[in-house]
Structures are given as structure tokens and as C-alpha cells.
Amino acid sequence: MKEIEKERQMIREIAIKTAQKIIQPRAAEIDEIWEFPRDLMETIGKQGYLSILLPEEYGGMNGDITTFCLLIEEIAKVSGSSSLLLLAQEVGTLPVWLGDIEAARALVYQAATRVDAGLEGAEKLSTMAKLYASNAAMKVTTDAVQIPGGYGYMKDYPVERMMRDAKVTQTLEGSNQVRRLVVANHLFRD
């Protein structure tokens, strides 16, 4: 337990320095323009604050909720709106990703069941499933690769490979543009 407390304290101290040196001098600007400057986002991303709750195998810090709360608290002391941005980034992104992934899985399995049963419309549904699932994979990995900032594009992080793999699914066995035409043809025939 003491190791966890040491790690939390270290993250808190770094968060205090980041808040005071990087965010506080621009807090008024952030509130005035109603947006978080990209350069600050990249700096915070490089420090791992945008991926604190993600597992290490996905390029995250494998942090816990308590550590995340400490980070949010220290950022909020100098800029409440900046802390809300971090909060929304961590908490808001995961449900969207999970929804996309689960919807894609359901469609793929529905198509597979239809193909196995030899039911009518199996080709159309399987084409739609491939199109939807590959686009969902690309969307999720594109978002995920940006969480650690510029580091997400480095081969040191598994999300870089996941994004490349997702891109392959959009072109394998015909590009998604061709798949859209196939689906459109099915719709016109039906």
C-alpha cells in the first residue's frame, strides 16, 4: 500500500508543477476563448494525463480513480475549466468506444449467424458488418492514439500498431468505399 501512496504523491507533485507552470499562466486565456489550446493539450498528453486511467498495454498509465481525482483536483486549483476537460476526456471517451465496439461485435455475430444458416440477405448484412466494424475500429484507434499525445504515434505504444491494424481492416478484401457500393446495390435490388 505504501508503494501506491508514493506513486500517487509523485503524480500529485508533478500535477502541481504542471498546473502552476503551464496551465495557470494561461488560465484566463482558456476561459476567455472557451477552448483548450492544442499546445497545452499536447503537453498534458505527453505527461500521460490524458491516459491516466488506461491500462499500460494500451499506452496508458494504469492509474486508479484516486490518483485521477488527485490530478483533477490540482488542475482545478488553477483552472476549473481545464480540469473539466481532463475529466471529460477520461470519463467521456470510454463509453463511446465501448458502445462502438459492442455495436460492431453484435452486427458481426448477427451476420455470421445468418451466413451459417444460409439465410437470405447474408451477403448484404456481412458486407454492412465489415464496413461498420472496420470503421468503428479505425475511429476508436484514431481517438486512442491521440490520448498519449505525440507519443501515441510511436511504435513504443501498442495503440500505434492497433491503429495500423484497424486501417488494414478497411482495405482488406475490398476497400470500404467499394463495400458501400455493394451495400447500395443490395438496397436498390431489395
Structural domain spans, the chain: 2-88, 93-189
Q: Which three cell numbers stand for residue 116?
A: 451459417
Q: Which three cell numbers stand for residue 27?
A: 488560465
Residue with the three cell numbers 483536483:
73
Determine whether domain 93-189 maps to CATH 2.40.50.140. Answer: no
Residue with the three cell numbers 475549466:
81
What pLDDT digit, counting tens, does each position of 128-172 carry?
Answer: 999 999 999 999 989 888 877 777 788 887 888 889 988 988 988
CB 117 within 8 A of CB 95: no
Q: Residue 179: left (phi > 0), alpha (psi -120 to 50), or beta? A: alpha
Phi, psi (degrees; rounded to nearest 5) at 155: -70, -10
What span, in angstroms and rounded, lies between the C-alpha atoms of 124 and 189? 11
What pLDDT digit, counting tens, does each position of 11-65 carry?
Answer: 899 999 999 999 999 888 887 887 778 888 888 888 888 888 888 877 788 888 8
Position 83 pLDDT exceeds 80? yes
- Give which of 39, 48, 30 is closest to 85, Cα–Cα: 30
Percent of the chain, pLDDT > 70?
97
Q: Which three cell numbers stand for residue 180?
A: 458501400
What span, in angstroms and rounded, lies between the C-alpha atoms of 83 and 93? 15
Determine whether domain 2-88 maps to CATH 1.10.540.10. Answer: yes
Q: What is the DSSP letter of 61?
A: -
Q: What is the DSSP letter of 151?
A: G
CB 162 within 8 A of CB 183: no
